[in-house]
Amino acid sequence: MAAKAQQQNENPIPSVWARQQREADQPALSRSAIVREAIVMLDADGTEALSMRKLGARLNAGATSLYRHVATKDELMELAVDEVFGEMAVPPADGPNWRAAAIEAAQAFRATALRHPWLASVLGQAGLAYLGPNLMSYSERLAALFTAAGFPEPDRAIDTVLSYVIGMSTTEAAWLTTVARSGETEAAFIARLMPAARQAAADHDHLVDSYGASAATTEIDPVGIRNSKFGYGLEVVLDGLALRLPR
């Protein structure tokens, strides 16, 4: 028994949610304050710019002080992911109206992912983040929604919707990050990019017409275009899921 306990201590599960939080030596420096500041840094500069040293400097604390609350950067990312999931709304389960509720939940996820452009790209790398309380609560509410809808395997329906939303949000967030770095509005950036895009598409019969149509548009509405693309794909996904419901 003692040998087994020693082995567990030597090979701990690599997740912040799988170990007990130690008592803080600095009451003024809380885990929640650390996570909030980390999210500010992530939103501004992305995951590559975040380090325990830089975060400590922002909080006027040494990296050693941070490690008393968060053991590694990976744990910090787990905490940041879970904190952001607390912003996502999922409507109450309503069987007959499951489709409208699923759309609302998907749109809430997308909106959160665009507020925090780093989120969608790190979900597959955030260790055991799904053990966090906010993510657990989010998953439970989605499970209730799709169970009430009558899906025999609600977890598969959830995975299907989230795979679409995460994929689209990852691409969209990356695009918006590129636009933000240009210092221009999205419409101005697209207008400046269009000549190069039309030239690249010139020898591709199925693409040249669409770029020509874009060039003929006097007022570009990039937000409306992105919303329409996301909504179209989501409707297609839900159409397919609806076919899986028992008749």
Per-residue pLDDT of 19-38, as tens digits, reads 655 544 445 688 999 999 99
Query: Got the DSSP string for 186-200?
Result: HHHHHHHHHHHHHHH
State pLDDT tens for residues 187-209. 999 989 988 988 888 888 888 87
CA pair distance 87, 183, nearest whole angstrom? 28
The residue behind tokens 């040293």 is: 53
Residues 178-183: what's their mean pLDDT?
Answer: 93
Neighbours of 114 (CB within 10 A): 15
Residues 127-135: what's their mean pLDDT?
Answer: 78
Q: What is the reported pLDDT for 25?
A: 45
| 241: Cβ contacts below 8 Å, ≥ 6 apart | 151, 157, 160, 161
Residue type, 246: P
Residues 130-137: what's their mean pLDDT?
Answer: 89
Q: What is the reported pLDDT for 36?
A: 95
- Structure tokens belonging to residue 143: 């499970």
CA pair distance 89, 212, nearest whole angstrom? 40
CA pair distance 91, 166, nearest whole angstrom? 19
Domains belonging to the chain, first-starting first, are 2-85 (1.10.10.60), 95-242 (1.10.357.10)
pLDDT at 217 over 80: no
* Residue 205 burial by Cβ neighbours in a 10 Å radius (0-12, 13-18, 19+): exposed
Longest dimension (CA), the chain: 75
Share of the chain above pLDDT 90, in %: 57
Q: Are 69 and 30 in contact (CB under 8 A)?
A: yes
State pLDDT tens for residues 70-121. 888 888 999 999 999 999 999 998 889 999 999 999 999 999 999 999 998 8
Buried b (16+ CB within 10 A) or exposed e, 118-133: bbbbbbeebbbbbebe
DSSP designation for 96: G
The residue behind tokens 């995975």 is: 159
- Structure tokens belonging to residue 172: 């969209």
CA pair distance 50, 127, nearest whole angstrom? 17
The residue behind tokens 């040494």 is: 62
Q: What is the reported pLDDT for 19?
A: 62
CA pair distance 112, 97, nearest whole angstrom? 23
CA pair distance 133, 86, nearest whole angstrom? 9
CA pair distance 198, 207, nearest whole angstrom? 9
- Structure tokens belonging to residue 164: 């679409």
